Structure 1
Amino acid sequence: MESLNLQNVTFLLVEDNRFSARLAVSILKNLKVARVEVVPSAEDAITLLRSGFQPDILLVDWLLPNMNGSDFTKQVRTRGITANAYIPIIMITSWSRIAVIEGARDSGINEILAKPVSPLSLYNAVVKVIMKPRPFVRSATYFGPNRRRSNDPKRTGPDRRMTIE
């Protein structure tokens, strides 16, 4: 597989743990990304996004001070914090309980990675959100990437989401 050139891709990393932040930045620098901005909280990320900073991809920890990564994602998707509510969001977390995973999925996360993240797993997640983006779904209770990775015509019924953007 040919490698993806990330020299024009900008990231915003929302991570309060300095070791985890340094690890992610190191990986991204080795992938030769254009720019990585790091903030320690969702509040700082919201301030930066509202100031006009437009990253191509958000990397978000789940456990953050005052607001978890899922709540932050819901705000990015629905509150006009950034001009691009469709921005790819990859959650990186050490919390792998099913409730956390489902909450992240239901908040509009594109991909989720378990800590400690490896260079290959982060690269693969970035490739997925760039090369194989899922269409977005909007319903009364959800706005984010289609949670189903395939379009199965056999799925029918009242619970099937009909609005795909």
Structure 2
Amino acid sequence: MSTPSANDARFQGRSALVIDDSPLMRQLIRSLLRQFGFSTVDEAADGSAALRQVERHRYDVAICDWMMEPTDGFGFLRALRRHQDPACFGLPVIMVTSVANKSQVLAMRDQGVIEYLVKPISAQKLEQRLVSALTRPRNLIMTDAYSGPDRRRRQDPAYAGPRRRLEDKMAALPWDEGEEDAAIRRATEELPDYAEVLGRDLEKLRGLLAELEAAVEPPVETWRRIFRIAHDISGQAPSFRHPAAAAVGNSLERLLQPILKKPELLRLAANRRLRAVRTHVEALALLLEEGITDTSAETGMLIERLRLAVDRVRREERDGAP
């Protein structure tokens, strides 16, 4: 089985477009692609900018984050697959996401996504998706209902079901940890210390929390900005070896997701929700102050307290709903 290595012959001379509104994640993926041997790696900060890039340049593959602003990965993919230029609508897209639930997978499949890459990003997972996207190309299809790569895997006339399934399982086996750690370490050498990034996110959260506490009726936009920071933390922190912070970010996402879907819930459990946000912010500050990055029994207790705080908000929302 292969291990992540620099200048892989399968990727030499290849070009890629990395699409993410987080400069940090763009840098990480770009560094890994350079290690793999990609000769051209361009960047775009959202789906609209990416579409303009694709119209001007020809890429072998695009690696696109799901959640971006103002145009997310779904919007980019939908526009791409409706493009009149075959070189655009046939571009292989690897979608990066924090959570790949069934409905999300089906929606992306129907828009012609080639592969999924679930965070945290690792050299192993990224290379596997690239090999699949670039060495097993799919036919292009143009119909009234769909334009893009064939959503079915290429059929091999010599296919033997059990043997193929075994190969898929073998491909999923973990690589040597030393090789994987070395690849990520090389990719992050030129990036800022993630603790510094996390510290800046914490200051933003504190400022937004102060806005919430001072406002009589806090606007939905403020809640949305807090959710976005939480989403970035939960998605980015594991790739930079901060799983404890990722757990706090994920809990804060869970707390705020319902009110973004149904803003009318804001009038319910307002005080308890605000206290829960402060608890999450203080938990993140504690991890930074103590230099805690990994999960442990102690961080497990902290996350459980956050879960209980979120559950109390949920119950009050349900009890107050008409």
- CA drift of 1:145 comes to 2.5
- Residues 69-105 of structure 1: CA deviation (Å, up to 9, x unaligned): 1221121122236744211111111132222211111
Letter of the 1:31 counterpart: F
**Partners of 2:38 and 2:117 in 1: how far apart?**
19
Letter of the 1:113 counterpart: L
2:104 corresponding residue in structure 1: 100
Letter of the 2:60 counterpart: D
Go from structure 1 to structure 2 and tell me whether the alpha carbon gap of 1:89 and 1:53 turns closer, same or farther (over 3 Å shift): same
Partner SS state of residue 48, structure 1: helix
| Most deviating of 90-99 and 28-37 | 90-99
1:48 corresponding residue in structure 2: 53
2:84 corresponding residue in structure 1: 80
Alignment of 1:73-152 (within 5 A): 73-80=77-84, 83-149=87-153, 151=155
Tell me the TM-score normalized by structure 1: 0.80
Higher share in strand: 1
| Most deviating of 94-103 and 10-19 | 94-103
2:208 corresponding residue in structure 1: none
**Partners of 1:82 and 1:69 in 2: how far apart?**
19
Alignment of 1:32-43 (within 5 A): 32-43=37-48
**Structure 1 runs, 4 residues or longer, greater than 6 Å off:** none
Identity in percent: 26
2:262 corresponding residue in structure 1: none
Tell me the TM-score normalized by structure 2: 0.43
Go from structure 1 to structure 2 and tell me whether the alpha carbon gap of 1:83 and 1:98 turns closer, same or farther (over 3 Å shift): same
- CA drift of 1:63 comes to 0.8
**Partners of 1:82 and 1:38 in 2: how far apart?**
21
Higher share in helix: 2
1:14 matched to 2:19: yes
8 Å CA contact 1:77, 1:86 repeated in 2? yes
8 Å CA contact 1:75, 1:81 repeated in 2? no
8 Å CA contact 1:69, 1:91 repeated in 2? yes
- Residues 11-60 of structure 1: CA deviation (Å, up to 9, x unaligned): 1111012222122112111112101111111111122223x211111111
> In the alignment, which of 24, 32, 39 is matched to residue 27 of structure 1?
32
Go from structure 1 to structure 2 and tell me whether the alpha carbon gap of 1:87 and 1:150 turns closer, same or farther (over 3 Å shift): closer
* 5+ residue gaps, structure 2: 3-7, 157-322
Go from structure 1 to structure 2 and tell me whether the alpha carbon gap of 1:17 and 1:148 turns closer, same or farther (over 3 Å shift): same
Q: Which has the larger radius of gyration?
A: 2
**Partners of 2:93 and 2:39 in 1: how far apart?**
17
Q: Give me the CA root mean square deviation.
A: 2.2
Query: When the two structures are aligned, how many residues end up with a matched partner?
Result: 151
* 5+ residue gaps, structure 1: 153-165
8 Å CA contact 1:49, 1:81 repeated in 2? no
Go from structure 1 to structure 2 and tell me whether the alpha carbon gap of 1:48 and 1:151 turns closer, same or farther (over 3 Å shift): closer
Partner SS state of residue 46, structure 1: helix
Go from structure 1 to structure 2 and tell me whether the alpha carbon gap of 1:82 and 1:60 turns closer, same or farther (over 3 Å shift): farther
**Partners of 2:102 and 2:36 in 1: how far apart?**
30
**Partners of 1:134 and 1:48 in 2: how far apart?**
22
8 Å CA contact 1:49, 1:82 repeated in 2? no
8 Å CA contact 1:136, 1:145 repeated in 2? yes
